[in-house]
Structure 1
Amino acid sequence: MTAQTRRAALEAMADDEGLDVLVVGGGVTGAGIALDAVTRGLRTAVVEAQDWAAGTSSRSSRLVHGGLRYLYQLDIPLVAEALKERGTLLTRTAPHLVQAQPFLWPLKTPVLERAYSALGVGLYDALSIIGSRGRSVPVQKHYSRSGAKALVPSLKADSLVGAIRFYDARVDDARLVLALVRTAVGHGALAASRAQVTDLLQDAGGRVVGARVTDLEEGVTREVRARHVINATGVWTEETQALAGTGQGLQVLASKGIHVVVPRERIQGEAGLFVRTEKSVLFVIPWERFWIIGTTDTAWHEGPQHPVPTRADIDYVLSHANSVLEEPLTRDDVVGTWAGLRPLLQPGTKGGRTTSTKVSREHTITEAAPGLAVIAGGKLTTYRVMAEDAVDFVLGRSRARAVPSITASVPLVGAEGYRSAERRRARIARRHSWTEDRVTHLLRRYGAEIDTVLAMVDGDPSLARPLAHAPEYLRAEVAFAVTHEGALHLEDVLRHRVRLDDETRDRGLAAVDEVSEIVAPLLGWDPARTAEEVAAYRARVEAIRAAEEETTDAAAERARLRAPDLVPLRPLTPAGQSPAEGPTTDQAVDEAKTPSWAHTTKGHP
């Protein structure tokens, strides 16, 4: 995916042939739907108003898990479904992106707690083995207090009497979404980020027959015709479905979850931690050179685009982590933070509509208007099931049976040939004078596409150099973000591809100049455009820093919004209401809402 293929995709979406399915939303659910639909032979397009995975799908706990805590709520079918999907990702569709991860569950009381916990974890293991048709991860193992301390020396001795080790899995959530979109494109889907649905097209009978899609990069609005439109916009669900003007659809509330990142050396251990809290659970997750700690679960009443952690959120997470750690963590240990919004599905549907609705255990699909399906709920682990259900829903029972989903056996880009590439790790390291750890890093990001990265390095040896201020990443990874992964802006690279925004205290500011130097010629930026990109990223970082010093969500959002978006979203007007501003005409550029560089760079790759 490149800026060029994006522009071509937008033009193709608006051709006379029309689409079978238009997916609105480029998070994990929308990306999964696009892959499911296109692999059934449907002419499919997916559009995202921001960058791919810019919302909840890049701000998760980065876990692929069954949800052990749901067993204690006796939601066995939900856990079984998630564990089956975990096994699919680990063994077939994304073994390069998803890795098995051990966790230690500290026990606070002897005998009784160990007994019922062993039964729960044992059921968890059994459901995993059944769903995966074999072991995709090791089964539970029990430890005494001293055994647990040997595995995780940083555990506070008086915080446990023993522990159980169990396995789940971890994933770079944003890269999973990128892989899904790129795989869908490889099968023939049309995909465009920074392309916002600003209106729905309806025929005389009120059936949704497509959408008006505004290219936020160039200000052009196109009419895209589609037999089915699927709204997969998460916390934007109600805003998007309101464009149909029926008052029907799903009801979604937003809940904020935050995570903090601390250096790996601050916690000594070979396994993650699973800590039950008064509200939910806290995960302490090993992540390359760091530990990720989270999460919270608090109601969110501000805008959906820019959630940020407050000082109170960060202190809450550190406090719960410190309840089991011998050496307390402080705010000075925090390297990075992020906040995401969970779209919590509310019971029933808007307007009380009960027809044309499919309710699953954690997600629901309904028809907000004829031709417009809406899906919400669920979680990252079960994205593939949600996607299958959504496409089944719009096709109808008989047609869905005739062309069933095949995504459980479709490898994501980089998966096919990954095991073979993995066996060449030592040879690749010797050839390029890299450590094997660096090659492992590349394999877990690109899988078999490591050969593409290596070819880029062979063609331009300067790309083999590590970034001066972020040596864990190669310059080639920055270039790959533009040449293969559809990055259009500096923040796209630093937030969702080379994830310095989460992994450095300055959110990647020290590396900004070098990254922009690599990106600029690939995207055709002149010095003025490059300076604008760098200034916008710096302003964003400063705004987040200020927001993290606030104690309330409202104050934090005000601080964050002091940095304007380089590519702002358009306000949406529900059908039947008068817009605040005049509409954008098809194939016309709205100068007032288009970034200053949009016209000067048009035509560049």
Structure 2
Amino acid sequence: MRFSNLDRTHIVAKLKKEAFDVMVIGGGITGAGIALDAATRGMNIALLEMQDFAAGTSSRSTKLVHGGLRYLKQFEVKMVAEVGKERAIVYENGPHVTTPMWMLLPFHKGGTFGSFTTSIGLRVYDFLAGVKKAERRKMFSATETLTREPLVKKDGLKGGGYYVEYRTDDARLTIEVMKQAVSKGASALNYSKVKNLIYKNGVVAGVLVEDLLTGEEYEVYAKKVVNATGPWVDGIREMDDSKKGKTLKLSKGVHIVIDQSRFPLKQAIYFDTQDGRMVFAIPRDGKTYVGTTDTFYNDDPINPGMTEEDRSYLLKAIHYMFPEVNVTENDIESSWAGVRPLIHEDGKAPSEISRKDEIWESDSKLITIAGGKLTGYRKMAETIVDLLAEKLTTEDGRSFPGCQT
């Protein structure tokens, strides 16, 4: 079946008629990754998304398949190693939507990073992340750093580290993965909201769906149901009466966009802010975008917006690192905001909470994937589908090949 809304009637008919091996709730990058992995292993899989595909967190990132350098500050060595290796796989799988981009990390007197810590940190990062030789870190003097980007703050500048990140279009990456999943046999449908879960003998066996385009409600049945709804994970768990133990803590990230005529940045920069966080400033297609913020968020995640406080924070960050750039709120052409589904950790600020992912299984056998990052979507999917394969093999006696993504 084609990945096209022109086939919507046929997809709905198939969802009503067939009993699937797996039903995935959520059409962001995590759900798309699970659908692709499961379909390539021969599972009959369906996926439902209440908005458009990638409409949530998966279209509101910094547009980087980020290697996770900042996690070294939190000594999350295992995460740096895993995310770095996954970044290389994502690039290999989708070079048409992923582009290597050199990133400059300036360091100043009294800043978070110094010459020694930057050099050692980037070297450890190269090693842990398995960075290819041509993309390994370089160290610059203050003069060389200013040659790369003259707008960087000169006062107290000691030098810069130079390393590679991978630029992407997060929404398009999600769509590419979803298209591939459908080409392998997955049934994926957007604007289809799960209203309730269906149970047989206390075990989740399907979902009640509302087609948001027609208002029709119908049931879809599957042997296994996976909750991959990102910021809405706890809402599905509430339907299942299984929101206990660990829960999500949502964090909002805002980016602002400024025309290059007002902020003529020529080099992507990863820089310190006054409060010790790290922020990106990235030139792209005649614009410069800057982000992100990291603040707890308790409102509806469907359409988070930029507040005056968010805007002020990012403008102050620009003025701090690029003092010659006299931008004001009137220079902001647009912005975007997304919500990170973090796993709650008592007493920690948003930037301190780990970006790790976890799998939870309820008494009703609902499988939930929580947390995680864009870069790690493929590995998260592999872990979930390994679990699904193990369960389906035990229950049905069927065998499935290993991960092929």
TM-score by length of 1: 0.62
Q: Which amino acid counterpart does residue 102 of structure 1 have in structure 2? A: W
Identify unmatched segments of 5+ residues in structure 1: 349-359, 408-605
Q: Which residue of 1 aligns with 2:126?
A: 125
1:139 to 127, 136, 139: 136
Paired residue secondary structure (1:210): strand
Q: 1:6 to 1:248 in 2, by over 3 A?
A: farther
2:350 equivalent in structure 1: none
Residues 1:316 and 2:290 aligned together: no
Q: Is 1:230 matched with 2:226?
A: yes
Written as runs of structure 1 = structure 2, the 5 A alignment for 1:185-224 is 185-203=182-200, 205-224=201-220
Partner of 1:263: 259
Question: Within 5 Å, which residues of 2 pair with 1:396-407?
Answer: 396=390, 399=393, 402-407=400-405
Which of 150-159 and 318-327 deviates more? 150-159
Q: Distance in 2 between matches of 1:48 and 1:364?
A: 21
Counterpart pick for 1:240 among 226, 236, 239: 236
SS in 2 for 1:182: helix
Query: How big is the shift at 1:291?
Result: 1.4
1:3 alignment partner, one of 2, 5, 28: 5
Q: Which has the higher relative contact order, 1 or 2, with Cα contacts under 8 A spaced 6 or more apart?
A: 2
The amino acid of 1:89's aligned partner reads V
Secondary structure, counterpart of 2:375 in structure 1: helix
Count residues in correspondence.
Answer: 389
Alignment correspondent of 1:56: 57
The answer on whether the counterparts of 1:230 and 1:372 sit within 8 Å (CA) in structure 2 is yes
Match of 2:333 in 1: 335
SS of residue in 2 equivalent to 1:180: helix
SS in 2 for 1:381: coil
Bigger-Rg structure (1/2): 1
Find the residue that maps to 1:266 and give its secondary structure.
Answer: coil
Q: Deviation per CA, 1:86-108, whole angstroms, max 9, x where unpaired?
A: 11122x21101011111111111
Structure 1 or 2: more helix by fraction: 1
Aligned match for 1:177, one of 150, 174, 179: 174
Q: Distance in 1 between matches of 2:192 and 2:392?
A: 33
Q: Which runs of 5+ in 2 are unaligned?
A: 347-353
Alpha carbons 1:152, 1:268 under 8 Å: kept: no
Q: 1:228 to 1:302 in 2, by over 3 A?
A: same
Aligned-CA RMSD value: 2.2
Task: Indicate if the aligned counterparts of 1:6 and 1:193 stay in contact, CA closer than 8 A.
Answer: no
What is the SS of the residue equivalent to 2:67?
coil
Q: By how many angstroms is 1:366 displaced? A: 1.2
1:86 alignment partner in structure 2? 87
Q: In structure 2, what is the Cα distance between the partners aligned to 1:127 and 1:26?
A: 31
Aligned mate of 1:154, from 151, 154, 161: 151
| 1:100 counterpart residue number | 100
- Residue of structure 1 in register with 2:351 after alignment: none
Relative distance call for 1:270 and 1:327 in structure 2 (3 A) is: closer
1:181–1:312 distance in 2 versus 1, CA, 3 Å: same
Note if 1:388 corresponds to 2:382. yes
**CA pair 144-266 structure 1, distance change in 2 beyond 3 A:** farther
Contact 1:250–1:374 (8 Å) recurs in 2: no
Equivalence for 1:430: none
Residues 41, 400 of structure 2: 8 Å contact kept: no
Q: Distance in 1 between matches of 2:271 and 2:388?
A: 41
Q: Classify 1:344/1:187 alpha carbon distance in 2 versus 1 (closer, same or farther; 3 Å).
A: same
**1:188-587 matched pairs, under 5 angstroms:** 188-203=185-200, 205-248=201-244, 250-277=246-273, 278-325=275-322, 326-346=324-344, 362-396=356-390, 399=393, 402-407=400-405
1:23-42 residue CA offsets vs partner (Å, 9 max, x unmatched): 00011111111111111100
Asked if 2 retains the 8 angstrom alpha-carbon contact of 1:199 and 1:212, the reply is yes
Q: How many Å apart are 1:347 and its aligned residue?
A: 5.4
1:293-330 CA-partner distances (Å, limit 9, x unpaired): 00111111111211100122111101111111122221
Query: CA contact under 8 A between 1:244 and 1:369: conserved in structure 2?
Result: no
SS at match of 2:135: coil
Q: Deviations over 1:130-178 (max 9, x none)?
A: xx6x44x611122222211111122222152211111111111111111
CA contact (8 A) 1:149 1:155 kept: yes
Structure 1 counterpart of 2:51, one-letter code: Q
Report the CA distance shift for 1:365/1:287 in structure 2 as closer, same or farther (over 3 A). same
Matched-pair contact (CA < 8 Å) for 1:38–1:187: yes
Alpha-carbon contact 2:240-2:364 (below 8 Å) kept: no
Among all aligned residue pairs of Structure 1 and Structure 2, give the percentage whose two residues are the same amino acid.
37
8 Å contact 1:38–1:189 — kept in the other structure? yes
Task: Give 1:255 deviation, angstroms.
Answer: 0.7
Q: Secondary structure at the match of 2:321?
A: coil
Distance in 1, matches of 2:66 and 2:375, equals 6
User: 2:9, 2:314 → 1: CA distance?
Assistant: 43
In structure 2, what is the Cα distance between the partners aligned to 1:270 and 1:308?
28
Contact 2:105 2:161 in 1 (8 A): yes
Specify the SS of the correspondent of 2:376. Answer: helix
Q: Which residue of 2 aligns with 1:550?
A: none
In 1, are the aligned partners of 2:342 and 2:355 still within 8 Å (CA)?
A: no
- Cα distance change of structure 1 residues 397 and 280 upon mapping to structure 2, 3 Å threshold: farther
- Residues 379, 372 of structure 1: CA spacing in aligned structure 2 closer, same or farther, 3 A cutoff? same
How far apart in 2 are the matches of 1:312 and 1:165? 31
- Normalising by the residue count of structure 2, what TM-score does the alignment of the two structures yield? 0.91
Shift of residue 61, structure 1, vs aligned partner:
1.0
Q: Tell me the amino acid that sits aligned with residue 33 of structure 1.
A: I
User: For 2:180, what is the secondary structure of its paired residue?
Assistant: helix
